[in-house]
Amino acid sequence: MVTSAMNTPFDQLIDALEREGARYRVLEHPEEGRCDLVAALRGTEPGQGAKAMLCKSKDADGQMILAILPGDRKLDFKKVAKAAGIRKATLATPEEAQRETGCVIGAIPPFSFSPAVKLIVDPELIERFDEIAFNAGRLDRSMLLASDDYLRIARPLVSPLCA
């Protein structure tokens, strides 16, 4: 994914949310990518944070999967593989994450703007909270977004992913 200065992942998010009439707000804060620390900066619960982890298939096709889970939970790679319909999943490298999402690790939002990246969200995130929080393509900007608007706009596959 190549982004120009005028079409950053942050800009793509704002455009999509505005176009779809989403209920959201943007928070500015010091740069932070760790779920627990950024939750404190946002004033949100750690589990309310949508942790985005780019995974890839170990199969020959190299399918990319953006796994979204509550910030206070751990990812189960077997559940990622099952949900994605692949044999085995692993974490993508920081370089692959930057290339596929246009974001550094810790700044990846819970949206896929690439047809090559399958988006899967753990149901616990959207069932526990009416509003999710996430870094919005930048380490110094977060968004709080109504959970039902997230589902409506992102259209992720909903499947258990947590260990």
- Residue 15 included in any domain: yes
Which CATH number do you get for residue 107?
Answer: 3.90.960.10
Mean pLDDT of 65-85: 97
**One-letter amino acid identity for 112?**
S
Could you report the per-residue pLDDT of 146-158, keeping only the tens digit for each? Answer: 999 999 999 999 9
Could you give the number of structural domains in the chain? 1
- Residue 36 included in any domain: yes
- Residue 158 included in any domain: no
- Residue 53 included in any domain: yes
- Residue 127 included in any domain: yes
**What's phi and psi for 39, nearest 5 deg?**
-60, -40
**Angle between the N-to-C axes of helices 9-19 and 147-154, in degrees from 0 to 180, rounded to the nearest 10:** 100
Report pLDDT for 6. 58
The tokens describing 136, both together, are 């919005």
